[in-house]
Chain A
């Protein structure tokens, strides 16, 4: 074997993507542009006028941008790990076709996650470019925020991939987005610091990957990184990736290797 079959699964994703890339690149420019313009500049001008000290010491736009970057990474990861996985298992059964070759369930999961990593890098890269264009960053080191963005995306992609393989149809995905992804988007410190939340809700935020990713990205973008808390954030995110990968191995085997 010259290359792991997982690489071939990745190639398949890339080949499919070749036909749709224009649309997705356009969307990955439009989303941050609209959000940063409306929320960062529009809403931000009111917030900043009433908060001479800024939010967490910076302008609202500078506070918002890293959080929004991470939330967008989460959303991208969730999209890429729900409907496409359902297509592979149920709608097109492309996973069955792959499993008739030397590829295994592990290769499919690894190839899928590798592809999600590339998609996250693209989306986060474009997002950060837009952040610079808006002047939403205070240091050039903000480019490093791409790392927590991709890692946080994977921390969602892996467990959601495992979940997707347990579903008979896509109605569960709507529930996931409505009661999982959207509330996290809003409440995980993206638009306001989570210290603004009621005390009893705050511990829940600490359990989600998004909170840790946002904290990491904000510290990087604003240059306030501390080794100990950064290590904790990293450990939580990596823990989600590993746990999600193992869960996906289990749910894929149950579904595809009957």
Chain B
């Protein structure tokens, strides 16, 4: 396995078009070895299309792309030999058992049967599915299937693991178990690239991320940097009774760096939530409830990609 100098993935003006629809519009990004890198964005932002180009299963329409210092157009098979892929929808083989799924997958990577078996036992222990190894795949829970998919993606000991919405549809216990396993992989030096629309997932797992919206990258940085840049340290959430709501006009001006009026509440973006709360009392404003919280990636996300529902 050759060492990679420079970024593991380098994209310049990377573009994907389907007919007249532009799914990915001239994006630039680099992923460094050992980092956990995230694509964050609403549905239809172009995350999956970008991932498919990195995974060498979807040819790019335009721009430059290097993965592991190779060109996906001409060296796709060699790149894929060193990638692990966890697709958005499980693609497990329901006609095979849990362990057969992994063994045959190892064979696709040209492992000997003995080696594929050895790694299968190891990986099933790693994802806590060892007791189910002889079982059919179909009756497994959603979380178990995800873990099996992750185990399968590791059978070739990849340098780069691509995860497309790894925890969508899972219950909290299953998500936390998965995050724990992914964190361990990261500690072992595996480079992770993931897409998600869960802010907590991005904050938990990603060293660095880009926010995508409408086929473009609209922001880039660590979760902390993004919060500093696009939000304030704290957010003060106010709720009013409906009749009071209308009489507010202008009385909250100047209290915060940014004020956002939502149908059910008012958000004040401020560096010091408690100070702002006192200032509100001093003005004689009496909200029904007040809540001070820290800014999260969700605030950044909503500011950058808007509150309009994406269907």
What residues of chain A have their CB less than 8 Å away from a CB belonging to chain B? 1-3, 5, 8-9, 11-12, 15-16, 19, 92-94, 96-104, 256-258
Beyond known contacts A9-B108, A16-B96, A100-B85: 4 more, CB 8 A cutoff: A2-B110, A93-B89, A102-B108, A258-B52
B110/A3 in contact, CB under 8 A: yes
A101/B95 in contact, CB under 8 A: no
B104/A12 in contact, CB under 8 A: yes
Q: Which residue of A lies closest to B97 (CB)?
A: A19
Size band of the B side of the interface? Answer: 20 to 34
B95/A92 in contact, CB under 8 A: yes
B107/A97 in contact, CB under 8 A: no
B18/A100 in contact, CB under 8 A: no
A-B contact count (CB 8 A): 76
Chain A residues within 8 Å of B78, by CB: 102
Chain A residues within 8 Å of B156, by CB: 101
B58/A257 in contact, CB under 8 A: yes
CA distance A16 to B96 in the complex (A): 6
A257 contacts which of B57, B81, B96 (Cβ < 8 Å)? B57
A96/B93 in contact, CB under 8 A: no
B95/A96 in contact, CB under 8 A: no
Chain A residues within 8 Å of B159, by CB: none
A8/B110 in contact, CB under 8 A: yes
Contact with A along B163-183 (1 / 0, CB 8 A): 000000000000000000000
Chain B residues within 8 Å of A8, by CB: 104, 107-108, 110
A-B CB proximity, top 6 nearest: A101-B108, A97-B91, A100-B85, A93-B91, A102-B77, A102-B81
CA distance A257 to B57 in the complex (A): 6
A97/B93 in contact, CB under 8 A: yes
Most buried by B among A99, A100, A102, A258: A100
Chain A residues within 8 Å of B93, by CB: 12, 16, 92, 94, 97
CB distance from A128 to the nearest CB of B (A): 29
CB distance from B83 to the nearest CB of A (A): 7
Q: Which residue of B lies closest to A96 (CB)?
A: B91
Chain A to chain B contacts (Cβ below 8 Å), 16 pairs: A1-B110, A8-B107, A15-B96, A16-B95, A92-B91, A92-B92, A92-B93, A100-B55, A101-B80, A101-B105, A101-B109, A102-B77, A102-B81, A102-B108, A104-B76, A258-B18
